[in-house]
Structure formats: structure tokens, C-alpha cells
Structure 1
Amino acid sequence: MTSSTDTALLVIDAQESFRRRADDWAATANPEVLDNIALLVAHAREVGDPVVWITHSEPGSGGVFDPAQGFVRVISELGPRESEAAVTKTTINAFASTDLHERLQGAGVRRVVICGIRTEQCCETTARVAADLGYEVEFVTDATTTSAIPADGTLEAVSGDDIMRRTESILSARGFATIVRTRARVGTAAV
């Protein structure tokens, strides 16, 4: 990975595995997530920031995250390029089970822009770890998504929108990340 800037876009788990969970995907809290990720990717390419495509894998699980099933690949509409870095993780954060930190360090990256799927899981956890590693973190919440957590008898249901707002609040208030919106990040007026 080479970089002409100190910023990298991390696209986390924007992969076919999630679309294979049809009911879950249909109930996503942010139906515009793929459009917003595409805007961030186009902007990063335009300004020369490296794009890192991160996928989640659960080898041997037999589920949608098992690479043997064929769904551990970036959603094709996002148009990943062969020249762009790609890492596959087996942990919730994108650093623990990959060489992502070494790649970013080698490219001189000091700031990461985070977007992707599962706002409160892989995206938030990666943001926290990135902050702990010393990166400036921009968290583009409207370029992330999640789905509701249903009640389970002991806990109340939590809507996807509530999860996304909570994640924003915690990351910002606790100093893990600066919260930005897609159109502000790419420099276009809100639609």
C-alpha cells in the first residue's frame, strides 16, 4: 500500500455475507449505506487516499461468513480495485487478526476514516482500537449501518437507529473519534 496522504479509508465488512441474511439486510437502519460508502470511496480515490477493503471471515463455521460459502467478498457495486489493499479478519476489530496496523504505518497513515457494516460491532471496535494505536479517527456514521437487536426476555429491543446514535455519542464523547457525515467528508452539499 502506498499513500500520498496521511489518511486512509477503511471500508469494513461491506460484504456479500450480510446481504445473504435477507431479513436482516432488508431491515437495515440505513438503506443508503452503500451509496454513502461509494461516495467515500470515489472521494478517497480522487484525492489519492488509499482505500482498504476489510472483510470478516469465520472459516469452518458453515455460515455466511465461512469463506467456503463464497460470500466473504466485497459487495460488487462498490467496485473494489485489485490495486487497493484488502485484508480479511477473523476478529471483531480489523487490527487484531491482520497486518492492517503495519500496512498503515508503512504507508505513513496517521488518520483513518471508518465506514462499513455493523456500526456498533466491527466499525466501532475498529475505531476504538485505531484511537488506542494513535490514529486520528473519523467515523462516518451515515456510511455505516446495523439492524435492531430484538428483545430476548431479559433485555428490551433496541432499534438500529438507537444503536447508531449511541455509537456516535460514545465515540465522540469519549474521544475515540470525530463524527462526520458523508457529504461533509467529500465536500458536497447535502441532498
Structure 2
Amino acid sequence: MSRTALVVIDVQESFRQRPIWAYGSNPDIVGQVNRLVAAARERGDLVLWVLHAEPGSGGVFDPALGHVRLIDGLAAAEGEPTLVKTAHNAFTTTNLQQLLTLAGVHDVTVCGIRTEQCVETTTRLGSDLGYRTTFVTDATMTFPIPHRDLPETAGPAEILGDPRTLSNEEILRRTEYALAGRFATVRTVDEVTGASLSGARS
């Protein structure tokens, strides 16, 4: 029988250390992820946690600063693997695929931070590797994307005040359009958790 895995990507303290955190798309990211995790555990699905690290960078993703950990309110249960990646997708620099293979997983549900970056990239690669993927948009989070010509030192006020900035709403919409019917089934937390309660598969 095919087994499902829930992969929770980069819902970590690193992001809360950035000023742009206050302008994120999903203030309830912890609550939404916890709903998916509870449903997955109830079903007996595999739950895997992924963190992003940039060792030696001196930034918020440098493990030496102590922010490469799950945001308060999230916790891995005993036996749930926590993987640390150094690439955008969760496969390339970890043994995620090996863990999924050993567990007999063919269906992968993906959530986390950031919607269009690590979560979308993992979804695309997972699909290319042959997994049936589900992308739970309202259990992801993203932030306004500045135009490429804006200085990297730009703060939230400058980013939000630039008419070229891509808004959270635009990012979510574009990501769903790009993934649906090609790389993933796009679903909501209510749909996934409701399916689990009724005995249907995601």
C-alpha cells in the first residue's frame, strides 16, 4: 500500500530574525502546519522536518547563531527525522529520497517557508522524481519580493514602497498556477485534514 509523507520545510527561527517577517503572507503558519502534522500522525503517515543552513555565512541561517531550529510551537515527535539542507530543495543535499524510499512513500505533501522558493522547488523536484505531490498553499508562507535592481540592503519600507515589488498575493497566485496540473495537486489545509478525518487519501 502506498504511504504518504508530510514534509515540513524551513519553518524555522531564522526567518523571524528578519525585519520582513512582520509582512509575511501567513501569520498563522505554525497553527496551519500543526494541523497538517496532527492529521498526518493520526493517519500514520511519515512526518519529516527540514531546516535550511548556511554554515559560515554569519547570517540568520548560520547554525552558529542558534536560529536554525523549528519556530516555537512546532516540535518533531520521537522517530520523526529532522534533515538539514544547504540547497533550496529538500532533496539534493539530504537523504530525503532514501528515507522516503525506505518507508515506501509514493505520495508527498509539502508545506513550509518560502512558498515560491524552497517549498515550490522541493515540490517540482519531488514530482520529477516520481512522487505524487500535494502542495498546501495555506500552510506555506512567503514575503514580498523586491525587484532585482533594489539594493540588498533595502529595508521593509523601501521594499513595500517600490511599485516593482512582487506582493505576497501575486507570489501565491503565480506559484499555484505554475504547480497545478504539472507538478502537484494544490490543496488547502481544510481539504487535507478533512480528507484525513473522512478516511480519504490526500
Q: What is the TM-score normalised by the length of structure 2? A: 0.87
Bigger radius of gyration among the two: 2
Output the amino acid matched with 1:172: A
Percent of pairs identical after alignment? 51
Provide the residue aligned with 1:118 in structure 2.
114
Matching residue within 8, 11, 14 for 2:5: 8
Please state how far the C-alpha of 1:76 moved relative to its aligned partner: 2.6
Moved over 3 A (4+): 151-155
Output the amino acid matched with 1:184: E
The answer (yes or no) to whether the contact 2:26–2:140 under 8 Å persists in 1 is: yes
Gaps of 5+ in 1: none
Larger CA deviation: 68-77 vs 180-189: 180-189
The answer (yes or no) to whether the contact 2:2–2:107 under 8 Å persists in 1 is: no
SS at match of 2:105: coil
Gaps of 5+ in 2: 151-162, 198-202
The answer (yes or no) to whether the contact 1:8–1:109 under 8 Å persists in 2 is: yes
Please state how far the C-alpha of 1:109 moved relative to its aligned partner: 0.3
Provide the residue aligned with 2:174 in structure 1.
166
Please state how far the C-alpha of 1:148 moved relative to its aligned partner: 0.4
Please state how far the C-alpha of 1:82 moved relative to its aligned partner: 3.5
The answer (yes or no) to whether the contact 1:18–1:25 under 8 Å persists in 2 is: yes
The answer (yes or no) to whether the contact 2:2–2:106 under 8 Å persists in 1 is: no
| 1:136-162 deviations in Å (ceiling 9; x for gaps) | 000000000100012354892110111
The answer (yes or no) to whether the contact 1:5–1:48 under 8 Å persists in 2 is: no
Matching residue within 116, 127, 146 for 2:123: 127
| 1:78-109 deviations in Å (ceiling 9; x for gaps) | 12223211100000000000110011001000
* Cα separation, 1, equivalents of 2:73 and 2:165: 32
* Cα separation, 2, equivalents of 1:139 and 1:176: 9
